[in-house]
A and B are shown apart, each in its own frame.
Chain A
Amino acid sequence: MDPISILVNVAYIVSAILFIYGIRMLGRAETARQGNLVSAVGMFLAVIMTLINENLAGNFGLIFLGILIGGGIGYFAAQRVEMTGMPELVALFNGFGGLASLAVGWAEYQRLFETDATSIFTSIVIFLTVLIGGVTFTGSILAWGKLSGRFGGNSTLPNSQFINVALIGVLLLCGIMLVLFGATNAGYSMFMAVVVLSLVFGVTGVMPIGGGDMPVVVSLLNSLSGLAASAAGFVIGNNVLIVAGCLVGASGLILTVIMCRAMNRSLGSVLMGGFGATSSGGSGVEGEMKAASVEDAYYVLEAADSVIFVPGYGMAVAQAQHVVRELGEILEANGTEVKYVVHPVAGRMPGHMNVLLAEADVPYEQLVEMEDVNPTMETVDVAIVIGANDVVNPAALTDEGSPIYGMPIIKVHEARTVYALKRGRGKGFSGIVNALFFGDNTRMLFGDAKGTMSELIAQFKD
């Protein structure tokens, strides 16, 4: 090893340490922001050291241009995005990462194809890189589309399980042939087949998964993009790629499992797409939704001693977090105890609602956990549900036939009065009828959540 290579590899070790510390610090509220910075420094170091590693005489301009274009797009997107659109953007970034790994794998295969034969091991890891990278790319793009409403949340394929199993079979077959043929013309056609089929598999794999399960899917795809980078590391024999990619892969998988647990479902059942795609749940719901006017709500809130807000994705869609906080402050000034209860999987990503409430400057002490509020729910005068649905559906406790049976919920139906802000009478993102909305103590406030909140605030100010 020449001195420069040694220096570069030592720097890679430092990068890996920075990533590890970065992820660790990201897991604690006090250190999270510095943690992100620490990991960014690790990334910067890895890039700089790679640039001094090899001779880049003729390529510096091209590299500079590439970083400028990509960095510019990333910068622009990160600056411009609304906090409510965060899950979509993470899904999109994630997809680009996957495609980048695919391209790295392809570049190496191309180089081997044009220079000399590849080894069996290299062919295997090239196959894995392209497979995982391709699935991550199209899967993330589809998740992005479903989250942002560009594609239907519940669009499905007929016989999707059969198609997916068949695709996996053909992919494995092509992979085996790719390994056998190596860097030959026959191998190259197998390689192209793997590229195309992986991209197709990303679509057909995510397609049957219902919109309500998208947070889990984004988390899983995040894990996969790490694994794709790690596989690319094996392709080019680079340890910093292997370490960083694997860290993301493993931590992403844990996060996915944590989310599944919060919904009391197994990862397998999420991937099979039993949820959201079917809408058999809620069949036993009786009664009708009772609409209330803003004035009614005002009188009840005015007299209430304790009020809890339960935000869901509807609050994000309506961008209502600021007016919600404003109403909360008015209620507090009126002598009412105000709390915000956030379900672990409310919104489109875990912690999505916390980010929005933080953006709106909701005091930290007023955020309470579901487990702390549920036992005392009977003493709560008013629960205001803002665009949340499945996370407050009592069917999860009572209806064994419901697809969400067993999921822990915020038991707002036990509160004295429930006001549910909802855009219309339809089913939610997951396609399940919500018994809460038909309850005796529930009043519906139909319309845009932000508009309804603003009207309530106006009532208080009069």
Chain B
Amino acid sequence: MEPTTLILLFFIFVLSAFLGFELISKVPSQLHTPLMSGSNAISGITIVGALLAIMQSSDSQFAGWLGFVALVLASINVVGGYMVTDRMLGMFRKKETKKD
């Protein structure tokens, strides 16, 4: 990797870290569980890495299979994470509409 690219990626990393710290500083405690579960689904972004690994499997067949394993695991993380968060938040919502 080129040093300039590297610096750029680090730059992105550091800014994202600060953004992440700022994003959730004031969250009511009843939203902590959905927030944890929702951000857990986002960490399944590694699914993109899995896809890229599979696509480059012409270089190494074994790497392709590792990518496949990663794809299955990350898909569980992504699909399960988003759906479970939605289910949880749906329960909060149900209650709010009733109140109206």
| List of B residues within 8 angstroms of A33 by Cβ | 86, 89-90, 92-93
Contact bitstring B60-88, A, C-beta under 8 A = 1, else 0: 10111011111111111111111111111
Indicate which residue in B6, B39, B52, B77 contacts A26 across the interface (CB closer than 8 Å).
B39
Q: Which residues of B contact A236 (CB under 8 A)?
A: 49, 52-53
A242 pairs with B30, CB closer than 8 A: no
On chain A, the number of residues with a Cβ less than 8 Å from chain B's Cβ atoms is 116
Taking a contact as CB atoms under 8 Å apart, the answer to whether B81 and A232 are in contact is no
Q: Tell me the complex Cα distance, A67–B74, Å.
A: 9
Is residue A239 within 8 Å, beta carbon to beta carbon, of the partner chain?
Answer: yes
A59's partner among B57, B59, B86 (CB-CB below 8 A) is: B57
Q: Which of A78, A87, A113 contacts B87 (CB 8 A)?
A: A78
Interface size on B, residues (CB 8 A): 85
How far, in whole Å, are A50 and B21 apart by their CA atoms in the complex? 28
Contact with A along B6-34 (1 / 0, CB 8 A): 10010011001111110111111111111
Asked whether, in the complex, the Cβ of A225 is within 8 Å of the Cβ of B87, the reply is no
Q: Indicate if the CB atoms of B77 and A247 lie closer than 8 Å.
A: no
Report the Cα distance A104→B44, complex, angstroms: 12
Q: A354 CA to B89 CA in the complex, in Å?
A: 11
> Is the beta-carbon distance between B20 and A249 smaller than 8 angstroms?
yes
Give the chain A neighbours of B48 by CB distance below 8 A: 46-47, 50, 238, 240-241
Interface contact B20-A70, CB-CB below 8 Å:
no
Option from A78, A81, A244, A262 in Cβ contact (under 8 Å) with B43: A244
Q: Report A-chain residues with C-beta under 8 Å of the C-beta of B40.
A: 90, 93-94, 97, 222, 225, 248
A145 to B21, CA, bound (A): 30
Residue of A nearest to B29 (CB): A344
Among B12, B27, B67, B89, contact of A104 (Cβ-Cβ < 8 Å)? B67
Question: Is A39 part of the contact surface with B, judged by Cβ < 8 Å?
Answer: yes
B41 touches A29 (CB 8 A): no
**B16 to A78, Cβ gap below 8 A?**
no
| Contacting residue for A69 out of B64, B75, B94, CB 8 A | B75
Chain A contacts for B88, CB-based, 8 A:
83, 86, 355
Residues of A within 8 A of B9 (CB): 233-234, 237, 239, 242
Task: Given A29-B31, A32-B34, output 15 extra A-B contacts at Cβ < 8 Å.
Answer: A23-B35, A43-B47, A54-B56, A63-B71, A67-B71, A74-B81, A77-B80, A79-B87, A93-B81, A110-B66, A119-B1, A226-B39, A244-B43, A247-B19, A362-B95
Chain A positions within 8 Å of B, measured between CB atoms, are 19-20, 22-24, 26-29, 32-33, 35-37, 39-40, 43, 46-47, 50-51, 53-56, 59, 62-63, 66-67, 69-71, 73-75, 77-79, 81, 83, 86-87, 89-90, 93-94, 96-97, 99-101, 103-104, 106-108, 110-111, 113-115, 119, 121-122, 218-219, 222, 225-226, 228-230, 232-255, 258-259, 262, 342, 344, 349-352, 354-355, 358-359, 361-365, 367
Q: What are 18 A-B pairs with beta-carbon distances under 8 A?
A: A19-B42, A20-B23, A26-B39, A28-B31, A32-B35, A62-B54, A89-B80, A90-B84, A103-B53, A107-B64, A111-B53, A114-B62, A225-B43, A232-B46, A244-B45, A245-B46, A247-B23, A355-B33
The 10 closest A-B pairs by CB, nearest first: A70-B75, A250-B20, A74-B80, A354-B30, A350-B32, A74-B79, A103-B70, A78-B83, A66-B71, A246-B16
